[in-house]
Amino acid sequence: MSAVASDAVAPLEPAAPGEKDAPPQAARGGPGRRRRSAAPVMLVTLALAWLGVALVLPLVAVFAQAFAKGWDAYAAALTDPMALHAIRLTLTVAAIAVPLNLVFGVVAAWCVTKYDFPGKSALITLIDLPFAVSPVISGLVYVLLFGAQGWLGPWLLDRDVQIIFAVPGIVLATVFVTFPFVARELIPLMQAQGRDEEETALSLGASGWQTFRRVTLPNIRLGLLYGVLLCNARAMGEFGAVAVVSGHIRGLTNTMPLHVEILYNEYNATAAFAVASLLAMLALVTLVARSWLEARAPELRGERAAQS
């Protein structure tokens, strides 16, 4: 995660030179270039080979398996009522979890970077907690809280409220595991940007909300989108925590990843990989959107510089 975060911050540092990475290399001249030419080729080949084995091959395998019995079998697997339900449930869960974590992430990052208060570093550490904890534990926490023998379980049971083994439990578990994504993207970004612009806006008479909307938000919108993207990918793909609280009721509490496992265990590899191909496509879309965002970063930086 930290690698991604530093990616987002890095473009902000060399703001003034502004050009691509080509000029410094060209400036070094002839002999140096020849000496370098072998190593980069080897490294690139190695990287590509590794990419091929670790990423492309499995991806191809997913689609090959998904279409192993032809387009009709693929379409049938995806339009199966259970599959449709799993897709709908996954979208629903993401649609709740991602906005919640968007709001939380922005608020947390704002608090941490724009204000000083005791316990600040503790808060930053706490935000990272879901990354440090195994997803299975994240799920079990909710069983201990809301299970029939948990702290709140008997009270909920008396009122006929079902949290775990139902959609609310799945949402809670997903929110928990995707908690840090937005905040982790924003905190380094906002730290790098400092407080000068906000302080200027405030001193010119803007209200807090105006400052946030007109100054902070435009500055962080790329990092924000980036965080939302990753948050969403994880929310839709989460398996461990959701598996614990789901109850595995088909057509009710099975998300897409759980449905993939079920189909595979039913010797229905084609259908399993058909649903998996949707998750793979989600990953691809996430990647494309990510590189699109990264490509846009220099222009946005320029725009911001012009404004201030």
Binding site for other proteins (CB under 8 A): 88, 92, 95-96, 99, 143, 146-150, 153, 157, 160, 162, 164-165, 213, 217-218, 221, 247-252, 262, 264-267, 303
CB of 123: closest distance to other proteins in angstroms?
26
For the beta carbon of residue 17, count every other beta carbon within 10 angstroms: 8
Task: Tell me whether residue 11 or residue 218 sits nearer to other proteins (CB atom).
Answer: 218
Would you give the DSSP letter of residue 80?
A: S
CB of 299: closest distance to other proteins in angstroms?
11
Tokens encoding 127: 């935000």
Orientation angle between helical segments 81-114 and 180-193, nearest 10 degrees: 30
Task: Tell me whether residue 128 or residue 294 sits nearer to other proteins (CB atom).
Answer: 294
CB of 247: closest distance to other proteins in angstroms?
5
Task: Tell me whether residue 150 or residue 298 sits nearer to other proteins (CB atom).
Answer: 150
Place of tokens 């840090």: 180
Place of tokens 């919108």: 221
Distance (Å, whole) CA 270 – CA 169: 30
Q: What is the DSSP string of 151-203?
A: SSHHHHHHTT---TTSHHHHHHHHHHHHTHHHHHHHHHHHHHH-SHHHHHHHH
Place of tokens 């599959």: 83
Task: Tell me whether residue 47 or residue 68 sits nearer to other proteins (CB atom).
Answer: 68
Task: Tell me whether residue 28 or residue 88 sits nearer to other proteins (CB atom).
Answer: 88
Task: Tell me whether residue 93 or residue 187 sits nearer to other proteins (CB atom).
Answer: 93
CB of 16: closest distance to other proteins in angstroms?
22
CB of 59: closest distance to other proteins in angstroms?
20
CB of 102: closest distance to other proteins in angstroms?
9
Place of tokens 């649609």: 95
